[in-house]
Amino acid sequence: MAISDIAEYSHLSASDIEALRHELDSIRREVEESLGERDARYITRTIAAQRTLDAASRLLIFLGGRSKTALVLGTIGLGAAKSIENMEIGHNVLHGQWDWMNDPEIHSSTWEWDLVGTSEQWKYAHNVTHHKYTNIIGMDSDVGFGIIRVTRDQEWRPVHLVQPLQNIILGLLFEWGIALHDLPPKVGSKDHTPLSPPRTARAVPSLVRKIANQTTKDYIYYPALSGPRWKRTLGANVTANVMRNLWTYVVIFCGHFPDGAEKFSLDDVKDESQGEWYLRQMLGTANINAGPALAFMTGNLCYQIEHHLFPDLPSNRYAEISTRVQALCDKYDLPYTTGSLPTQYLLTLRTINKLALPDKFLRRTSDDAPETASELRFSQVLYRAAAARAQAQSDNSQELREDIRRGLRTAIAELKRFRREQKRTLRRARRAARARGLYRNA
């Protein structure tokens, strides 16, 4: 089951959580006060570089003649340009990260991105529903995007048997999946929740118009401009869009579904404080280890934890913020979930493939699995482990260090240690049983 008491799960007191809130508020305040020319220059140069790369790639495809090298390089460049527009520019502009500049061309209220889905529908589904209610089962529709089972809290259905295939299709057509996912559901449908925006009379026509404009641009207009080479341009555009779709899908899934990105129940959000909201973002997301180039190509969403803590702060600041967030995790003994891109994606694939099966075929419980955990995972094991350690200490209880905070990271480490001890005990018992059997047979 999902986490229903985040304070108990994190092993933090109410005063700890409030202190954490003050420290994160301080980070936000300091970054906001320091925003200026350097940040504005970053986003304007990024937009200029992206548009230059887009135009240069299209020219290379068009002017390359029959050269396969020119076609491949142009297609890769176009795919990269589309990825940058989607991730580092469109996604972050629509979060309002650059609204402080008061530039009407780089503003969340005016930006329309290079995808088939509309910016307006995405902003509500993502900025409001997903970021406010991150990983809360029944409230955050991005948990599996309505078709992928990524936690045992989602009821298994026979259709989930084919979710490994659905996952591949979703990756290839990610922009289309997001466009349909963000369309406000009809009242009374299975996808409708109290958080769903009303489906206005213009919702569907707006999406249809955007799809028409986008497909016309990529699959009719640019190929037509290429004249006799229209097939070459059409193929390059299709390939570039698939490249962008796959890249966006991988980055998003690696930030939300690997081991350590926890899920939460409706009970946990009742009367939630700002400190608890911060804590839920830190525990419900995961980072990707990345250098500057990879970070840029992910739209700085390799810093998914920092992005969820401060979704409207400029993305170019996430690297410096991450150092301070990691320090807070050390101070409050909290895990800072991160890993290489291959590791995070393989963990995500493991979850998707494993949860395609009914729970009866899975070994771990719903309270203590890599992809699904709750505060109950610690209920017996840690009490027994703590008792064993206390017994091993000298009778002088003052020797126990009370100045060291014992939080979630220590609890998880103790849980793993206790499991290893259990396995060793079980192996020794099995070897002893085999030895006794051989002795009797002799």
Which pLDDT score is estimated for 442?
55
Which pLDDT score is estimated for 364?
82
The per-residue pLDDT for range 5-58, each reduced to its tens digit, is: 899 899 999 999 999 999 999 999 999 999 999 999 999 999 999 999 999 999
The per-residue pLDDT for range 171-222, each reduced to its tens digit, is: 999 999 999 988 876 555 555 555 556 656 678 889 999 999 999 999 999 9
pLDDT confidence band for 421 (50 / 70 / 90):
confident
Look up residue 57 and give its two tokens: 């790639």
Backbone angles phi, psi at 29, to 5 degrees: -60, -45
Q: What is the mean pLDDT of the chain?
A: 89
Instruction: State the pTM of this model.
Output: 0.89
Look up residue 175 and give its two tokens: 């922009």
Look up residue 261 and give its two tokens: 């990105």
Q: Poorest-confidence range of 7-16, 198-207, 273-282, 343-352?
A: 198-207
- Residue range 315-342: mean pLDDT, rounded: 97
**Under DSSP, is residue 288 helix (H, G, I), strand (E, B) or coil?**
strand
**Under DSSP, is residue 100 helix (H, G, I), strand (E, B) or coil?**
helix
Cα 39 from Cα 33, distance rounded (Å): 12
Cα-based angle 143, 148, 153 (whole degrees, multiple of 5): 60
Which pLDDT score is estimated for 397?
46
pLDDT confidence band for 288 (50 / 70 / 90):
very high
Which pLDDT score is estimated for 17?
95
Given a cut of 80, whether residue 439 has pLDDT beyond it is no
Question: If you search the block for the tokens 């995961």, which residue do you land on?
Answer: 286
Q: Which of 82, 104, 93 is nearest to 174 (CA)?
A: 82
